[in-house]
C-alpha cells in the first residue's frame, strides 16, 4: 500500500507531534493509519461507505494467514520478524512486565488514564490497567484468562471486572455510557452473534450486584488509538502499590495458580 507521507503526518497532528513520538508509537500510528486507509479502500471499492464484513467473510480469511488470530502478541509479529526480548530480572514485578513484555501498552495505559480522569474507584482503575495485558499471551476468552492470571494478586472486584468485561463488551448499555463498538462489526462481522456461553454469562451478570464493575471497564475501554496521548505507568504506581500483591519471589516464581502464565510471557521463545 502506498502511503501519502504528508497526509499521514497531518493525521497525527503535524511534524512536531511526530517528532515527540518514540519508535513504537510511530510504528503503531502507522499501522492504524494503514488499517484505516485499507478499510476506506475496501469500502470505496465495494461502493458502500459503511460496509462491514460478514462472519462468513471473516472466516474465509483464516486460510490466508500463517498465524491464528488468537495467538498472543508476544508470539506473532505483523511487522516482519519477531525481535529478541530483553531478559527479565530474577524477581520480576508488574512494572518489569509492563516495561519488558507489555510495551507499548498504550491501550491499557490510556484506558486506565481515562478511568482515573473520570473518577473511577482504585479497583476499577487497576482493572482498566490490567484488563487486556493477557492479550500478550492469548486472545480468545481474554477476560477469563486475564482474570485468572491476576487473581492471586488483586482485589476480588478487580478480577471480577477483568473476567466479565469480555462478555459485557458485546452488549450495549447506553444508560451506563456504553455503545457497541463499530470496531467489533469489523473484527467479528456485522452479523456476529455471541455464543451461548457469553449470552448465559450476560444474563447472569445483569442481575449481579457487581454488574457495574466490568461495565465500567467497558465504558473506559478505548477503541481509538490516540497518537497524541502521553501515557505512562508512573501515575498508577501508587494504586499498584496499594492493590497489587507483588510476590516477594517475583511474578512467575511464587507457586501461585497462575505463576506459569507469567513465566510463559517471560520466555515466549521456549520451544516446550
Partner 1 sequence: MRRTLTIGAVVAVSIAALAAQGKPQTSKGLQMTPTSVEITDQSSLRDCPPGTNTVHAMARAGERMANVTVAFKVLPSFKPGPLKRPAVMSTDGKTYNTSVQFVDVGSVPEFSCTFAFRVPEGTMLKSMTIEDATLDLSGLSK
Chain contacts with partner 1 (rule: CB under 8 A): 50, 110, 113-114, 117-119, 174-175, 177-183, 219, 222-224, 226, 229
Closest CA to 246 of 151, 155, 153: 153
Residue 179 Cβ, how far from partner 1 at the closest point, in Å? 4
Residue 51, C-alpha cell as written in the block: 460496509
Note whether 216 and 115 are within 8 A (CB): yes
CB of 14 to partner 1, least distance (A): 17
The CB-of-272 to partner 1 minimum distance in angstroms stands at 41
Output the smallest distance, CB 209 to partner 1, in A.
Answer: 22
Interatomic CA distance for residues 260 and 228, integer angstroms: 36
Asked if 62 contacts 35 with a C-beta cutoff of 8 angstroms, the reply is: no
Q: Which of residues 218 and 264 has its CB atom nearest to partner 1 in the complex?
A: 218
Query: Using CA atoms, how far apart are residues 4 and 10, in angstroms rounded to an integer?
Result: 10
Q: Which residue lies nearer to partner 1 by CB, 67 or 180?
A: 180
Cα 129 to chain centroid, rounded: 10
- DSSP assignment of 211-234 equals THHHHHHHHT---S--TT----SG
Closest to partner 1 by CB, 46 vs 118, is 118
Q: Which is nearer to partner 1, 50 or 234 (CB)?
A: 50
CB of 113 to partner 1, least distance (A): 8
| Residue 103 or 183 having the CB closest to partner 1 | 183
C-alpha dihedral sign at 102, 106, 111, 112: positive
Amino acid at each position: 500500500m502506498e502511503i501519502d507521507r504528508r497526509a499521514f503526518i497531518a493525521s497525527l497532528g503535524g511534524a512536531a507531534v511526530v517528532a515527540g513520538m518514540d519508535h513504537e508509537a510511530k510504528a503503531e500510528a502507522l499501522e492504524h493509519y494503514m488499517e484505516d486507509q485499507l478499510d476506506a479502500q475496501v469500502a470505496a471499492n465495494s461502493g458502500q461507505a459503511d460496509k462491514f464484513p460478514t462472519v462468513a467473510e471473516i472466516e474465509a480469511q483464516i486460510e490466508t494467514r500463517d498465524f491464528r488470530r488468537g495467538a498472543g502478541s508476544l508470539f506473532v509479529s505483523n511487522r516482519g520478524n519477531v525481535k529478541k526480548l530483553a531478559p527479565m530480572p530474577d524477581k520480576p514485578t508488574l512494572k518489569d512486565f509492563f516495561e519488558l513484555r507489555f510495551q507499548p501498552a498504550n491501550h491499557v495505559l490510556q484506558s486506565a488514564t481515562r478511568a482515573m480522569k473520570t473518577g473511577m474507584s482504585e479497583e476499577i482503575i487497576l482493572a482498566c490497567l490490567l484488563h487486556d495485558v493477557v492479550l500478550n499471551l492469548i486472545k480468545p476468552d481474554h477476560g477469563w484468562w486475564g482474570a485468572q492470571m491476576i487473581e492471586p494478586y488483586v482485589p476480588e472486584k478487580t478480577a471480577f471486572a477483568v473476567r466479565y468485561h469480555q462478555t459485557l463488551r458485546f452488549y450495549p448499555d447506553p444508560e451506563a455510557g456504553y455503545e457497541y463498538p463499530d470496531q467489533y462489526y469489523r473484527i467479528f462481522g456485522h452479523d456476529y452473534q455471541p455464543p451461548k456461553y457469553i449470552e448465559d454469562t450476560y444474563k447472569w451478570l445483569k442481575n449481579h450486584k457487581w454488574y457495574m464493575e466490568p461495565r465500567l471497564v467497558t465504558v473506559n475501554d478505548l477503541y481509538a488509538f490516540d497518537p497524541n496521548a502521553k501515557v505512562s505507568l508512573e501515575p498508577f504506581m501508587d494504586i499498584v502499590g496499594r492493590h497489587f500483591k507483588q510476590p516477594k519471589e517475583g511474578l512467575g516464581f511464587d507457586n501461585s495458580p497462575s505463576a506459569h502464565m507469567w513465566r510463559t510471557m517471560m520466555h515466549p521463545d521456549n520451544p516446550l
